[in-house]
Amino acid sequence: MKKRLFSVLILPVSLLLLFISGGCEKKDLPAETGSIEFVSLTVEHDTLAIMELTKVVADVNGENLTYTWKCDNELGIFEGSGPEVMFTICHGGKFKITCEVKDNANHQASKDAYVNYVE
């Protein structure tokens, strides 16, 4: 009797649970096949008086993008984030602004623009 109960009830239920649990495994996110196209990096005003702000805009095609802004002088100040920031610096000279862009698939691209600050 117990053997028959096992084969009729417990075995099919166990197999059913095993089958259902196979559908609950964690699936990896689909791999992104796209890439990043860095179209342009533009500075609204490329010659300014010291401490004036200028808008810097990155035109980038891609998905899930992360932007990193840098200046070749540590005194450069960026306000904002994403594809559009404001930039200024407290002394004169020609400065390189770099925008680095990455996506979730670790594609990356960068562009440079230059701005002159005069006294």
Query: 37-118: what fold?
Result: Immunoglobulin-like (2.60.40)
pLDDT (0 to 100) of residue 42: 98
Burial of 115 per CB tally in 10 Å (0-12, 13-18, 19+): buried
**Segments making up each domain of the chain, as ranges:** 37-118
Residue that is written with structure tokens 């990896």 in the block: 28
pLDDT (0 to 100) of residue 1: 55
Report, as ranges of residue numbers, the positions in the chain whose pLDDT lies below 50. Answer: 5-6, 15-18, 24-32
53-57: long-range contacts, CB 8 A cutoff, minimum separation 24: 53/79, 53/86, 53/87, 53/88, 54/86, 54/87, 54/88, 54/115, 55/84, 55/85, 55/86, 55/87, 56/84, 56/85, 56/86, 56/87, 56/97, 56/99, 56/113, 57/83, 57/84
CA distances (Å), origin 13, targets 1, 2, 22:
18, 16, 14
pLDDT (0 to 100) of residue 71: 98
pLDDT (0 to 100) of residue 2: 56
Tens-digit pLDDT profile for residues 87-105: 999 999 999 999 999 999 9
